[in-house]
Amino acid sequence: MNNSIRLKSRPEGIPTLENFEFVEVDKPKASEGQVLLKTKYVSVDPYLRGRMRDEKSYITPFELDKPLQSGIIAEVVESHISDFKKGDFVNGMLEWKQFQTSNGKGLQKVDSSKAPLSAYLGVLGLTGITAYVGLLKIGEPKEGETVLVSGASGAVGSVVGQLAKIKGCKVVGIAGSDEKIKLLQNTFGFDAGINYKTTNQMRKAIKETCPNGVDVYFDNVGGEILDAAMANMNRFGRVVNCGAISLYNETEQPTGPRLETSLVKKSLKMQGFIARDYQDEFKEIVPQLATWLNDNKLTYEETIVEGFENIPRAFIDLFEGKNKGKMVVKV
């Protein structure tokens, strides 16, 4: 019994369950130079939506009728590679299958005694690294500055806010429910929050919560929230373009106010990135994040959905904002 999940059709707009197909495949055998892996935790992330489009990007698109992939924590159940032994846990970009083989390339061992396994998909994985790189390498916040974060209660946003507090900034988060705003303030130490779903005038709401203007805007959503933030940027402000979840499901080219005049007038920087651009620095970043985690300077929320069969649903729910923090499926 080995279930796999394939991309059946490319979504138009928000993905639906019909875009996915469950296919029973043989449980593979590991040959020489291979390990047999059993999937334990599967990461679902907004950026996967981009790979479902058939267009050029920093990462190749998913193919139709082939298994989808994401960050996965798996257990080594059989090993013919000296670096790995039975019972090891590994992190890698793997297929949505219950069992699969690997030649070991791109697999990192993770230590389940140092942090829960799921944390390696979140705060100690690409999520935490994304927050670190975007805020600290691109946003470069200085003590006393104001940092605004959208998608603030999400996996990346909640880490961004905490890192900004570690750096001595004032931190304001934007999220989509009063419950999430409370979470930002009570659990993650944000100074203030804005519920964009109940706020008619985002531009004004940002102005009121950031009376000294915004120095760093960490953007996970794009669209009109970005526009409202732009109107509040201080001179020499930095906009970190981490994601644009509000646009991922658009079927036509979205339009909005042109930004070039603001960029010139205020000497602003906007910069997009993906964590992998900084791969050489991961070995310094992850231990730093682990230290802050163990010092209780960093905490995280995760939404764990149970069951391999619920991976597509969990992914779709990201676009409804049903997750608090990192969304992970436990298999």
Among residues 236, 284, 287, 309, which is the contact residue for a copy of itself, using CB under 8 A?
A: 236
The conformation of residue 116, written as its DSSP 8-state character, comes to: -
Q: Record the tokens describing residue 152, joined without a space.
A: 């603030």
Q: Which is nearer to a copy of itself, 225 or 298 (CB)?
A: 225
Q: Any idea which residue has 């779903």 for tokens? A: 197
Structure tokens given for 94: 């793997």
87 or 256: whose CB is closer to a copy of itself? 256
Name 95's bridge partners. 69
Output 125 or 243, the one with its CB closest to a copy of itself: 243
Q: Is 243 in the site for a copy of itself (CB under 8 A)?
A: yes
| Interface residue with a copy of itself, options 82, 258, 296, 320 (CB under 8 A) | 258
Cβ-based nearer residue to a copy of itself, 171 or 225: 225
Length of the chain: 331
Q: Is the dihedral of CA 311, 315, 320, 323 positive or negative?
A: positive
* Residue 259 engages a copy of itself in binding (rule: CB under 8 A): yes
Q: How far is the CB of 45 from a copy of itself (least distance, A)?
A: 13
| Residue 257 touches a copy of itself, criterion: CB under 8 A | yes
Q: Show the CA angle centred on residue 331, arms to residues 3 and 85, nearest 5°.
A: 90
Which residues contact residue 136 at a Cβ distance below 8 angstroms, ignoring those fewer than 6 apart? 163, 167
Rounded Cα distance, 7 and 30, in Å: 25
Which residues are CB-neighbours of 276 under 8 A, at least 6 positions away? Answer: 58
Q: Kindly tell me which residue out of 116, 213, 272, 321 binds a copy of itself, with binding defined by CB under 8 A.
A: 272
| CB closer to a copy of itself out of 104 and 157 | 157
**CB closer to a copy of itself, 82 vs 261:** 261
Q: What is the DSSP letter of 154?
A: B
Q: Does 231 bind a copy of itself (CB under 8 A)?
A: no
| Residue closer to a copy of itself, measured from CB, 145 or 302 | 145
- Should residue 262 be labelled a site residue for a copy of itself when binding is judged by CB under 8 A? yes
Cβ closest to a copy of itself, residue 188 vs residue 248: 248
Instruction: Name the residue with tokens 């495949």.
Output: 25
| Residues whose CB is less than 8 angstroms from the CB of residue 265 and which lie 6 or more positions away in sequence, other chains included | none
CA distances (Å), origin 249, targets 11, 149, 302, 313: 8, 21, 24, 16
Instruction: Based on the shown chain and the rule CB under 8 A, indicate whether residue 212 belongs to the binding site for a copy of itself.
Output: no
Q: Which of the stretches 9-17, 182-190, 253-261, 318-326 binds a copy of itself when contact is defined by CB under 8 A?
A: 253-261
195 belongs to the binding site for a copy of itself (CB under 8 A): no
Residues numbered 48-87 forming contacts with a copy of itself, rule: CB under 8 A? 50, 57-58
List the one residue from 256, 287, 307, 322 that touches a copy of itself (CB under 8 A). Answer: 256
The CA angle 243-244-246, to the nearest 5 degrees, is 145
Amino acid at 187: T
Residues lying near a copy of itself in the complex (CB under 8 A) are found at: 50, 57-58, 219, 222-223, 226, 235-236, 241-244, 247-248, 253-274, 277
